[in-house]
Structure 1
Amino acid sequence: MYQIKKLIVCLDQSELDETLVRFASFVAQVNQTKKIYFTNVIRNMNIPKEVLQEFPNLIENMVEERKGKMKALVNKFFDKNKDAELSFMVKEGQLSKKILKLAHEKSADMIIIGRKVNLSGTGVLSQRLARRASCSLLIVPENSIPKIDKLLVPSDFSDYSKDAMEEAIMIVEKYGGKAKIFCQNVFSIPSGYHFTGKSYEEFASIMEMHAEINYKKFIRKIDTKGIAITPLYTKDEDDDPVEDILSKAEEIHADGIIIGAKGRTAATALFIGSLAERLIQMNDRFPLLVTRPKGKNAGILDYILEI
């Protein structure tokens, strides 16, 4: 995976901004990030021409006011990093399109956005950006605390699960190598198991055994850099692996969940996988990092911006 050298932080002038600035500071310190774009998007204002003629500095003053508020917030909650160059950008238009375009133009490595729980707002933007961004996406629920002691990486032992695991290893390595990574595989019992002559419990043991074998094959392909990785095997009882993932994250007191986006090529770029989709929808407690190999969606940006 790649280092987070260029970071976009999406602020919206709400109470959640403080949390996002704290996370941006944490990410920047761990990664020695070089460039951070604090961004606020104003929805299309549709101000009549007559009003703009009467008050020609209206938009300019609004933009400067918002930049000033962002700067004040960053000065208060962002730990100074002498190597990081900070930019403050205010744009007008549709939020997802403006962020996607900015990420493409700046060749961003990560976008940080918030997940509102009690504050007003929706999670639609998270899903759109996760599908369409050409880089990784960190979704931070309100009141989250930036720390890395335990990370949960759900895995089906695929290539995009490998991306997520390598990202987790790189994060922990940069953080000092002491944090723990838990690799969770959620397996289910096929409905036709009884045709084999095995009991439910016997077939569950067979499925878990194969999960263990596949994990060993999976982890052998990855340079763990000596970091402790604990495999976890969870039997899905209700055909809802997302509930199993969130329950396990709660059980181990995870500081974050890392999952790989399914779309690794331009042909599959709009598909992040049903598991990632549902995690984005249902998770409102744990910071969620959706990893994507940088630039994989860049080839379809023009199409995306027309949607």
Structure 2
Amino acid sequence: MYQIKKLIVCLDQSGLDETLVKFASFIAKVNQTKKIYFTNVIRNLNIPKDVLEEFPNLIDNMVEERKTQMKAVVDKSYGEQDGVEFSFVVKEGQLSKKILKLAHEKSADMIIIGRKVDLPGTGVVSQRLARRASCSLLIIPENSVPKIDTLLVPSDFSDYSKDALEEAVLIAEKYGKKAGIICQNVFSVPSGYHFTGKSYKEFTSIMRMHAEINFKKFIRKIDTKNIEITPVYTQDEDDDPVEDILAKAKEIKADGIIIGAKGRTAATALFIGSMAERLIQLNDQFPLLVTRPKGKNAGILDYILEI
């Protein structure tokens, strides 16, 4: 994967901002991060022209006020700067479009955005950014604490699952090889199993055996850097693998979930996969990293920004 040298942190003047700044500091300290763009987007103001003529400094003053407020949060929560350059960016318009454009212009490696639980707001923006960003997206729920002892990587042994596991290995290596990585495969028994003459229990064993074989093939493609990766196999009995993933995350007290975006080319860039979509929708407890090789969406970004 790649170094996180340029980071965008989306602040919104809520109580979640301090948490996001702390995560930005945590990430930057071991990633040789050179620049962090702390960003706030003001919704379309639609101020009448005659009002702007009467108060020509109105918008400029508003922007400066937002920057001052962001600086205050960063000063309070970031800690030592350690050579990282800060930039405070205030934009007006639609949040997702402005963040996508900024990430493209600055060639960002990661976007950090909050996931509200009790605070007002929705997760719609997170889903839009996950589909359309040209880099990885880290979604942080309220009250999360930046630490990495245990990481959960759901895997179907595909190429985008490989991206996610490689990212987990890279993170664990950077944090002193202390993090444990759980690679979870959720399998199910096909509805027509009885036509094979096997019992449900027998076919469950067959499906698990094939999952174990596929994991061994899968892990051989990955440089684990001598970091321990523990495979777990979970049988899905209610056609909702995301519930199984979240249950496993709770069981192991995961500090984060890492999943790969399905779109790896410009042709598939808007598809992050149904599992990732549903994880973004349902997960409000664990930091969720949606990985995407940098620049994979760049070819269609201009079109997207016109939508």
Q: Which residue of 1 aligns with 2:164?
A: 164
Is the 1:32–1:83 Cα contact (8 Å) retained in structure 2?
A: no
Q: Distance in 2 between matches of 1:213 and 1:131?
A: 31
Q: Distance in 1 between matches of 2:138 and 2:197?
A: 46
Q: Which residue of 1 aligns with 2:125?
A: 125
Is the 1:236–1:244 Cα contact (8 Å) retained in structure 2?
A: yes
Is the 1:38–1:87 Cα contact (8 Å) retained in structure 2?
A: yes
Q: Distance in 1 between matches of 2:61 and 2:154?
A: 47
**What amino acid is aligned across from residue 247 of structure 1 in structure 2?**
A
Q: Which residue of 1 aligns with 2:53?
A: 53
Q: Which residue of 1 aligns with 2:280?
A: 280
Query: Within 5 Å, which residues of 2 pair with 1:20-169?
Result: 20-169=20-169
- Cα deviation, 1:66-97, whole Å, max 9, x if unaligned, reads 10010010011002232210000000011000
State the SS of the aligned residue for 1:66. Answer: helix
Question: 267-276 vs 79-88, which deviates more?
Answer: 79-88
Is the 1:44–1:94 Cα contact (8 Å) retained in structure 2?
A: yes
**Alpha-carbon distance, 1:30 to partner:** 2.0
**Alpha-carbon distance, 1:55 to partner:** 1.0
**Alpha-carbon distance, 1:53 to partner:** 1.1
Identity across the alignment (%): 84
Matched, 1:257 2:289: no
Q: Distance in 2 between matches of 1:191 and 1:18?
A: 48
C-alpha RMSD of the superposition: 0.6
Q: Distance in 1 between matches of 2:188 and 2:71?
A: 50
State the SS of the aligned residue for 2:306. Answer: coil
Q: Distance in 1 between matches of 2:32 and 2:75?
A: 18
Q: Which residue of 2 aligns with 1:18?
A: 18
Q: Which residue of 1 aligns with 2:5?
A: 5
**Alpha-carbon distance, 1:163 to partner:** 0.2
Query: Within 5 Å, which residues of 2 pair with 1:184-263?
Result: 184-263=184-263
Q: Distance in 2 between matches of 1:94 and 1:22?
A: 25
Is the 1:265–1:297 Cα contact (8 Å) retained in structure 2?
A: yes
Q: Distance in 2 between matches of 1:246 and 1:44?
A: 36
Q: Which residue of 2 aligns with 1:304?
A: 304
**What amino acid is aligned across from residue 10 of structure 2 in structure 1?**
C
TM-score, normalization: structure 2? 0.99
**Alpha-carbon distance, 1:195 to partner:** 0.9
Question: 283-292 vs 73-82, which deviates more?
Answer: 73-82
Q: Distance in 2 between matches of 1:105 and 1:71?
A: 22
Superposition misfits of 4+ residues, deviation over 2 angstroms: none
Q: Distance in 2 between matches of 1:179 and 1:94?
A: 38
**Alpha-carbon distance, 1:225 to partner:** 0.2
**Alpha-carbon distance, 1:297 to partner:** 0.2
**What amino acid is aligned across from residue 4 of structure 2 in structure 1?**
I
Q: Distance in 2 between matches of 1:214 and 1:6?
A: 36
Is the 1:256–1:287 Cα contact (8 Å) retained in structure 2?
A: yes
State the SS of the aligned residue for 1:223. Answer: coil
Q: Which residue of 2 aligns with 1:179?
A: 179
**What amino acid is aligned across from residue 44 of structure 2 in structure 1?**
N
**What amino acid is aligned across from residue 285 of structure 1 in structure 2?**
Q
Question: 60-69 vs 77-86, which deviates more?
Answer: 77-86
